[in-house]
Amino acid sequence: MPISRRNILLLVAGFSAFLFIQVKSGKSRRLYPGDNSISQLNLSDHEWKQRLDDNAYQVLRLGQTENRYSSPLNKETRQGRYHCKACNLPLFESHMKYDSHTGWPSFKDHIFGHLSTYTDLKSFPPARAYRCVLCGGHQGHLLMDGPLPYGERWCNNGAALIFIPA
């Protein structure tokens, strides 16, 4: 491709559009480091496979995403807590949950210090994801299209959670 004014303008326009889409896509740039006083649970891959069912293993240990509307937790409305399925650390309270109509359990807030965020490079474009601080299990993605006051949507895989009624 020869360098011409037209090609440079097309390149700049394409890059500008890419940046605009990134800013408007609802991807979070917020970082949550998690509570450093919680020491991480370290198990071998074999021990995780024994502890988790196949779907939970795929999500929590390999960072996969479950199918939309596949979790019974989408319809859960009772009072209680949502715990990490791998290590039983409480991550969300029931009053934090809301129906985002996305097909995954969604929360407007989390139990502070129990989740840490990281950049998920497996998705394109890279997204802000989060994991349990105790076991390091992938839970879901943090998006900025949630309800006020924070605008956060903690979009969780139902396969990574267990619900414990109050």
- Note the pLDDT of residue 6: 82
pLDDT score for 5:
84
Give the contacts of 119 (CB within 8 A, at least 6 positions apart). Answer: 126, 127, 128, 129
Q: Let me know: does 158 contact 73? Beta carbons within 8 Å.
A: yes
Q: What are the residue ranges of helices labelled H in 2-93?
A: 5-24, 45-51, 54-60
Q: Are strands 138-143 and 153-156 parallel, antiparallel or unpaired?
A: antiparallel
For residue 125, the model assigns a pLDDT of 81
pLDDT at 16: 66
Cβ 115 vs Cβ 139: under 8 Å: yes
Profile the chain (166 residues) by mean pLDDT over runs of 10 residues.
78 69 55 85 94 97 95 96 98 97 96 94 86 97 90 96 97
Farthest CA pair distance, the chain = 67
The pLDDT score that the predictor gives to residue 22 is 52
Dist. CA 68–CA 13, nearest whole Å: 35
Question: Is 27-165 CATH 2.170.150.20?
Answer: yes
Catalytic residues: 155
Which residues touch 156 (CB under 8 Å, ≥6 apart)? Answer: 82, 91, 92, 104, 105, 106, 107, 139, 140
Q: Which of 140, 163, 126 is nearest to 64 (CA)?
A: 140
CA angle 40, 161, 94 (to 5 degrees): 110
